[in-house]
Each structure stands twice: as C-alpha cells, then as structure tokens.
Amino acid sequence: MWIKVSQNQSSVTEFILLGLSDKPVTNILLFIIFLIIYMTALVGNIILITVCRLDSRLHTPMYFFLSNLSFLDICYTSSIVPKMLVIFLAKRKVISFRDCAAQMYIYLSLGETECILLAVMAYDRYVAICNPLRYMIIMNRTVCIMIATGTWIGGFLLSILHVAFTLTMPLCGHNIINHFLCEVPAVLSLSCIDTFINEIVIFVVGVLILLIPVFLILLTYIYIISTILKISSTDGRYKAFSTCASHLTVVTLFYGTAIFMYMRPKSSHSPDKDKMISVFYLIITPMLNPMIYSLRNQEVKGALRKVIGKNRMF
C-alpha cells in the first residue's frame, strides 16, 4: 500500500517481513522453537526477579541492577518475539509503518538501555571489590535508583536518533524487509538514496552506546582483576571471580554480537547473516542471562533453594 509523494518517490504505509523461512513446515517448526525460547526467557527472568525480591540477603546493589537487567530482558524479548511468532504462521506477513516504527524504537531503546546497564553493573562490581568498606555508602539505595533511572532515560533518548534517521529517508516504493523484524540495517537497505549520513549517525551512536561502554568495562575489570589477585583468601578470590565471570560472559555475548551487527560497514551486511546475529543477541542472550547468573552464583542458587523449600512446606 502506497501514498504518492512525487514522481519518483512514495511513502510506505506497511512493510512485508520475509521472516526466517518461506517454507510453511519450517515456519511451524520455528514457531515451536522460538515459543519455547521465549517462554524459557520469561520464566527464567521472572524467577530471578522474584528470588531477588523475596530473599533479604539479595537486597544489595548488585542484585538490584540484576533485577533491572532481568526486567529489561523480559521487555526486550516481548517487543520482538510475539510479532515474530505471528509472522511464522501468517499468510500475509505484514507490519504497518506505525507498528514498525514503534517496534524499532522500543527494541533499540531497550537494547541501548542494556548497553548502559551492563557498564553500570561493571562499575558496581568495581566498587564492591576495590572499595568493599565503602560499598554500601557509595552505592546506597538513592544512588542506585538514580543510576537506574538515568540508564533507562538515556537508552530511550539515544534511540530517537536511530529511528528518526532511519524512517525519514525515502524508500521509493520498496516495502519488502528481508528480516523477521524492523531491524535498522534491513530497513536502511530499502532506501533508494545514499544512506551515508544514516550510516554515520549509526556509527556515532554505536561509539557512544557500544564502544565507549566496552572500553569502560575493560578498564574497570583491569582494576578489579588486579585487586582480586591481591586477595589472600582462596575462597575470597573464587567468590569475586565467580560474580565477575557471570557479568563478563553476559557482556561478551551481548556486546560482541551487537558490535558485529551495528559497527560493520554496509557492504559487509548480508540478510541471512544479519538475521542469525539478530536472533542471537535479541532472543537467545535474554534467555541465557538468568541461567548464567544462576548457575555460577552460589547466593542465587541458595536463595532459589530457600524459596522452593518454603513453597514445599505449603
């Protein structure tokens, strides 16, 4: 469906999403797989939030930010997967321009919020390990709430640039997106004009939201590791390394794929590769995060056993 603007340009009112496959049987199988992944992500993150709320021993800044991350991941996957599941089964795989814009803004906002939040969590670990005696003073409840609020506001403000520069360019009659969502590189490929300015904006925002936080996280962990190596107790070193290892694993999975997706030149993008990368950092990573933090964290596992034990008593 088109609204004529000029002889050579037209404004799109809806997009066709090609999804991951054009084969009906494959789409049914993919529907089942991604439904399971989505439910696993929801259940895992809800359990982690619940455990952090119910166990008073986890009422610390670290688990406050971890609960924020879990809530963020619930919203993140929920902004993408439900529409994705509909596309798998629908005969007419369309999304309106308005819904496309909303989806792009929401998932970018949440993704950029996660980038900032992971850097904040690295700073929290730095204070806890390098300044343990002043940890609860520096990272008091008011400071944590202010940092979390600023993180969410920052993510939602920065994404406006991405969306504005992507959806205001002329598409010249093209409305077929070779993707399962309105991903920025996929929508940019529909433009009939030079997208150099758009790519510059994406690169600048990418530096602000991806490369700078990664640099700060690496710098933070240099100080953290040097401090851990000075700890005389083996148990103390192990506990410090275990909490840091969980965070570093999440950082590597999320930032690695996001940087590969958004910091590459346009010429190196290919639809099939981009879709696989998107599946990993948009859907798989939010499912893995609660598992990573639960399996390597003795405090979370202990709190989970405590909650389960109380439920069995009733």
Mean per-residue pLDDT over the chain, rounded: 84
What percent of the chain clears pLDDT 70, i.e. is strictly above it?
Answer: 90
Model confidence at 7, pLDDT cuts 50, 70, 90, reads very low
- Residue 11, pLDDT above cutoff 80: no
Looking up tokens 């690295």, which residue turns up? 122
Higher per-residue confidence, 174 vs 95: 95
What is the rounded CA–CA span in Å between residue 140 and residue 146?
A: 10
What is the rounded CA–CA span in Å between residue 69 and residue 103?
A: 20
Q: Kindly state the average pLDDT of the residues 174-180.
A: 86
- Structure confidence at residue 295 (pLDDT): 64
Higher per-residue confidence, 270 vs 110: 110
Domains, the chain, ordered by start: 19-313 (1.20.1070.10)
- Cα 66 from chain centroid (whole Å): 13
Alpha helix (H) ranges present in 168-233? Answer: 184-188, 196-206, 212-228
Residues 6 or more apart from 45 whose CB is under 8 A from it?
70, 71, 73, 74, 286, 289, 290
Per-residue pLDDT tens for 51-79? Answer: 888 888 888 999 999 999 999 999 999 99
Residues 6 or more apart from 140 whose CB is under 8 A from it?
none
Model confidence at 210, pLDDT cuts 50, 70, 90, reads confident
- Structure confidence at residue 261 (pLDDT): 79
C-beta of residue 94 within 8 angstroms of C-beta of residue 66: no
Per-residue pLDDT tens for 228-277? Answer: 888 777 777 777 777 788 888 889 888 888 888 777 776 666 778 888 88
- Structure confidence at residue 296 (pLDDT): 63
Q: Kindly state the average pLDDT of the residues 99-104.
A: 92
What is the rounded CA–CA span in Å between residue 88 and residue 28?
A: 7
C-beta of residue 101 within 8 angstroms of C-beta of residue 167: yes
- Residue 9, pLDDT above cutoff 50: no
- Structure confidence at residue 310 (pLDDT): 59
- Structure confidence at residue 158 (pLDDT): 85
The CA-CA-CA angle for residues 121, 125, 127, to 5°, reads: 115
SS3 50: helix
- Residue 306, pLDDT above cutoff 80: no
C-beta of residue 175 within 8 angstroms of C-beta of residue 190: yes
Instruction: Give the neighbor-by-neighbor strand order of the sheet with 176-177.
Output: 94-96, 14-17, 176-177
- Residue 2, pLDDT above cutoff 70: no
Q: Kindly state the average pLDDT of the residues 136-148.
A: 94
Residues 6 or more apart from 60 whose CB is under 8 A from it?
136
At residue 81, φ and ψ (nearest 5 deg) are: -65, -45
Looking up tokens 């610390």, which residue turns up? 60
Higher per-residue confidence, 240 vs 160: 160
